[in-house]
Amino acid sequence: MTRAMKSFSAVVCGALLIVAGLFGWFGEVSFAFAGAGLLVLLVGAGGLLSTQSRARFRAPHPAIYGLLTLAIAFHVFQNLTMMSAHFAYGWFLWALLPYGLVLVLSCFEGTRLSVIAGAALALAADAWNYYEVARSTSSTAAINFIWIPIWNTIIVVPMATFLAWLFLRRRHQVSANAP
């Protein structure tokens, strides 16, 4: 098994441990499993990055910068309108976690364009979450602000990026075979 496959396996196992830990599948030690999963995921991601040659890295697509600017502005607005009297830097950085993944993925040649779909969908999920929490009368609705960055990072951004990558790859193959 190559180092890249081992690293990818670590990323997958780490993501699964995080999800299992967050859902409490391991009882009282679930939090420890989620933390270990995060550590394994980060080590695997570092291993994947180390397998890439420097020639394959590119500057992010300009659309990514636009979406990141919109995300930062949206989360500043969200933090100022939904949080207490002071700006909560920790919650602000937590909400920007998926966009850190977007920025990293946009540096790779193969996902430079397809990650735009992941960023747009994450921003749409954040906006929908804000709308739902703002109009809710439930006292626990704000808990969504904890969960949506996790789901955006683990599910929304990777799946949207992968599906967009498949679409772009298929489109390129069809146009290459056109008469």
- Residue 141 and residue 130: Cα distance in Å, rounded? 10
The model carries a pTM of 0.73
* pLDDT surpassing 80 at residue 148: yes
* pLDDT surpassing 80 at residue 5: yes
Q: What integer pLDDT is reported at residue 68 of this predicted model?
A: 95
Per-residue pLDDT tens over the stretch 62-121: 999 999 999 999 999 988 887 767 788 888 888 998 998 898 888 887 788 899 999 999
